[in-house]
Structure 1
Amino acid sequence: MENKIYDVVIIGAGPAGLTSALYAGRSNLSVLVIEKPNVGSLVMAHKIENYPGVLHSPTGKEIYVLMKEQVSKFNVDFVEATFLSLEASDENKIVKTDKDNFTGKTVIIASGWAKNGSKKLPGEEKYLGKGVSYCATCDGAFTRNMTVSLFGKGKEIAEEALFLTKYSKEIHMFITDDCDDKCDLTLMEALKANEKVKMYYSSQLIEIKGEEFVEEVLVKVNGVENTYKTQFAFLYLGTKSLKELYGGIAELDEQGYIVTNEFMETSTLGVYAAGDVRSKVVRQVTTATSDGTIAALEAIKHVLKKQHLKVQYS
């Protein structure tokens, strides 16, 4: 891999990254995927029931293994490394990792939701897939008749809490901000009127506890620590890592996610973003694969146009 200039370098090996690698690899482009093993929302998902054409409710890791096996048939290179930074010029992009620097004509950022790269709370990593989740619309169906807790800003968790009212027995909303002008007041009033929902403001999650699965959470509410029984903890606590990683090469939204157009193009030519790292409303495996498809097709066109221009003027 040393000194090789890849047509496409992909940061992340989740559903978006692997889909991009599949399309680019099948197009006979040279492709490198940079991955951190056993990290990501897909790998951590304990059961997936809403992936079209898959009937036996596999784990996320099972789907990941099948995706990677399929991609590997098309001469795609993989490297296990931690992404550090990206330098982008009009000609080539330098992707810096803790293992080495890699050069690509194009780069697809598919590193997943920001939370996966941030510092974990006590108990968070231990109970991933065992009650800890980052997506209520993904895992809500597994919370039937359970007590659940959501943590995050009011605007971010209100819609997720409303979704959970279809399944959960009791819903604790631990809101980290004052919510005032930032929340949909109609939605908040609807939640307040729902007997399943309890709201706690000025909240800070301290620790997630349990035996094999999540059983309770230690939360500081208005400066006072208390333990609350719960069977699921949905975390929307945010991170600054995306701003630190990508702020210099892409436009970011208020939450730090990468802004793209419908072609997955960022504000830097030849750099694309796909999947949960992208600024959007819905984050599912199906939407990630869709993003990955579009990003790859655009990257392929970019590389082929560059090659054509070089031939014309050589």
Structure 2
Amino acid sequence: MENKVYDVVIIGAGPAGLTAALYAGRSNLSVLVIEKPNTGSLLMAHKIENYPGILGSPTGKDIYTLMKEQTLKYNVEFVNATFLAFDLFGEHKIVKTDIENFLGKTVIIASGWAKNGSKKLPGEEKYLGKGVSYCATCDGAFTRNMTVSLFGKGKEIAEEALFLTKYSKEIHMFITDNCDDSCDKALMETLKANEKVKMYYSSELVEIKGDEFVEEVIVKINGTHETYPTQFAFLYLGTKSLKELYGEVASLDEQGYIITNEAMHTSIEGIYAAGDVRSKHIRQVTTATSDGTIAALEAIKHVLKKHNLKAQYS
């Protein structure tokens, strides 16, 4: 998948995301679905008796499995990952996850509804914007001559750490996995050879502390709590709220849902929202599939118009 530019990147594999994937895949577009395994309202449904054309009382997982199998017939690709952020400054939209970054000409947000305010680590919310950041490429220039810390899986934070070597005085990489299989070996060797960089494996961030700004982090490594001085903490741990995740690409209503028009457009061209994550009155499997259909057709039109591709409509 590295460096591949997808026509459509879909965040979420619920009924909205899978429907969008089906339509886009069947139109001969390249499609990637980013999903978190075993999560979502559909998978938690014990019985579904009101989905048209499906007799009996199948579980949500049964319907999910059928939907996914149908998309796979049209070469839709899936990856198990946690969405972290967007980078919208280049030619293509960069979708950042905890395993790697993906490029898309269009993006459909179909991540479903989660409580508006994911579980935060102690100190995370207090120091957001005061040393806590979710994007080194966004805030790296503010770290000149500072000591910084990054937390997350090795492949994701390795790229961010390399960027920070242009600015930061000292870089602590607190890696949550062993990184042996997933990391770019050449990139890791480059970082290990840089005297600014220190790596810590099997790390767990416990708390972020300071006064007005971040001053130190408490990290559990091999069962032992250690304190490390730092002035910036870059987090790639999936603890963002919906506002933090999507606020840069869409307006949110008072409950935290993404506001779109009837064509599923957000405030950024080429980015759409569908399903339970969208601001609307009714949330059912059937309304999610409807949203997914509309979002996919809009994305297909966008790709055809902007990139002169040929697709099969039906």
State TM-score, norm by structure 1. 0.58
User: Shift in Å at residue 35 of structure 1?
Assistant: 0.2
Q: Whole-Å Cα distance in 1 between the matches of residues 114 and 299 of structure 2?
A: 23
Q: Who is 1:22 aligned against?
A: 22
Aligned pairs (5 A) from 1:1-314: 1-89=1-89, 91-115=91-115, 118-119=118-119, 241-308=241-308
Contact 1:83 1:98 in 2 (8 A): yes
Which amino acid letter does the alignment assign opposite residue 57 of structure 1? S
SS, match of residue 84 in structure 1? strand
CA RMSD after TM alignment: 2.0
Aligned length: 191
Which amino acid letter does the alignment assign opposite residue 244 of structure 1? E
Q: Whole-Å Cα distance in 2 between the matches of residues 44 and 260 of structure 1?
A: 26
Which amino acid letter does the alignment assign opposite residue 94 of structure 1? I
Which amino acid letter does the alignment assign opposite residue 16 of structure 2? A
Contact 2:10 2:109 in 1 (8 A): yes
SS, match of residue 243 in structure 2? helix
SS, match of residue 68 in structure 2? helix
Q: Whole-Å Cα distance in 2 between the matches of residues 116 and 34 of structure 1?
A: 20
Which amino acid letter does the alignment assign opposite residue 241 of structure 1? S
User: Shift in Å at residue 80 of structure 1?
Assistant: 0.2
Which stretches in structure 1 are left out of the alignment for 5+ residues? 121-238, 310-314
The Cα offsets for residues 214-262 of structure 1, whole Å up to 9 and x where unpaired, read as: xxxxxxxxxxxxxxxxxxxxxxxxx972101101111111111100001
Q: Whole-Å Cα distance in 2 between the matches of residues 117 and 96 of structure 1?
A: 19
State TM-score, norm by structure 2. 0.58
User: Shift in Å at residue 53 of structure 1?
Assistant: 1.0
| Fraction of identical pairs, as percent | 81
Q: Which has the higher helix share?
A: 1
Structure 1 residues 292, 261: CA separation in 2 closer, same or farther (over 3 Å shift)? Answer: same
